[in-house]
Amino acid sequence: MRRSVTPLSLVLLGLGVFLLVLAPLLAWYVEPRAQRTPVDIDSTTVFTGTGSYFDTKEIETVDDTRITITRQVRGDVADSEKSGRAVWDVSTSVDTDASLPAADPHDALQWSTERWVTDRKSNAPVHCCDETPYFEGEAYLKFPFDVQKRSYVWWDNTLGSTVTLAYRGTKRIQGYEGLRFTGRVPATQTGTRLVPGSIVGEPDRGQVLAEEWYANHGIELVADQRTGRIIYAAIGPRKTLRAPGGEKDAAVLLDSRRVAFTERTQKEQVELADADSGRLRLVGTTLPIGAGVAGFLLTALGVVLVVRGRPHPETSESSQQTLTM
């Protein structure tokens, strides 16, 4: 009896082999290329808390005031595509209730603009494309993809330098688990400012070049492990003035023990992290495993069907002679 290969067995075998090849391709080629910092980002995060600030109208520090920090990040798509980097323009304003809602950021208590350029894969800073200010470190607006359980070097733009954030375990934000990192900044001189002498305890001098000092009571960041997106952030900034050569703070410009992501911002960041992480999980884990298992089963079935084939009865010579008689 002769056997022949059926079309179905060849189709199953071919599909199985295709899926076996596709599985590692998704895990080792597609997912790493999907881990790229987006360039079309348009995101606003809001921090709130209470603290003290220097009221320029009253010429004194006002305590127990609600502080709001608003950060808007927009990707420069044209420059990003041209350079192959992630180019983000960042606007940060610090307000009290008196300046909110701020129609003009110049009315804010403090306002700054920055331009960050990073490698889309590693998140490392890239010094090009009109970057300002010059910055270093491993993390700032986000952590690298596949965050590790170790310390990271975070860039503090107010300090103008890096801060080491230690890994402190996991923390759930709005029901979503992330990796928690903390650190602090001791009082450090960051610059000088020309102010009336009376502000820093030297009323006999008209203008003095006061020293600007900055500290951070505590930094807490919670990052999504797969994407590096920050789903929770809390900081405790303290900015003061000292008389030239002084050892004590003479005036408090801004001081808050803690300003943190609002609940709305937390939910928005968690939703984005969950969606982005799900897509990476799909191409990096779910599809490769599914394709591998299905490919193995289909290949095995195809091989069995090819080996067995479809039987074709053969007519014996004697039977043929009988039929011809």
Return the pLDDT at 59: 83
Return the pLDDT at 56: 80
Return the pLDDT at 98: 82
Structure tokens at 184: 């602090």
Return the pLDDT at 124: 92
Per-residue confidence in pLDDT tens, the chain, 325 aa: 555 656 666 565 566 565 555 556 545 545 455 578 888 999 999 999 999 999 888 788 899 999 999 999 999 999 998 888 999 999 999 998 888 876 677 778 888 999 999 998 899 999 999 999 899 999 989 999 999 999 999 999 999 999 999 999 999 999 999 999 999 999 999 999 999 999 998 988 889 999 999 999 999 999 999 999 999 999 999 999 999 999 999 999 999 999 999 999 999 999 999 998 877 766 656 655 665 566 656 566 656 666 666 555 554 444 444 444 4
Distances (CA, A) of 28 to 32, 109, 278, 283: 7, 49, 17, 10
Cis ω on the peptide bond leading into residue 105 (within 30° of 0)? no
Contact assessment for residue 116 and residue 141, using Cβ atoms and an 8 Å cutoff: yes
Contact assessment for residue 318 and residue 43, using Cβ atoms and an 8 Å cutoff: no
Contacts of 297 (CB under 8 A, 6+ apart): 16
State the Cα–Cα distance between residues 86 and 81, nearest whole angstrom: 8
Return the pLDDT at 293: 66
Q: State the pTM of this model.
A: 0.79
- DSSP of 189-226: EEEEEEEEGGGGT-TTSSEEEEEEEEEEEEEEEEE-TT
Structure tokens at 195: 């102010």
Among 150, 178, 145, 189, smallest CA distance to 166 is for 150
Return the pLDDT at 322: 44
Contact assessment for residue 237 and residue 49, using Cβ atoms and an 8 Å cutoff: no
State the Cα–Cα distance between residues 122 and 144, nearest whole angstrom: 6
Among 106, 104, 147, 145, smallest CA distance to 123 is for 145
Return the pLDDT at 325: 41
Contacts of 216 (CB under 8 A, 6+ apart): 156, 158, 159, 163, 183, 184, 185, 235, 236, 237, 238
**Amino acid at the residue 33:** R
Among 41, 90, 46, 81, smallest CA distance to 66 is for 46
Distances (CA, A) of 83 to 88, 110, 129: 12, 31, 8
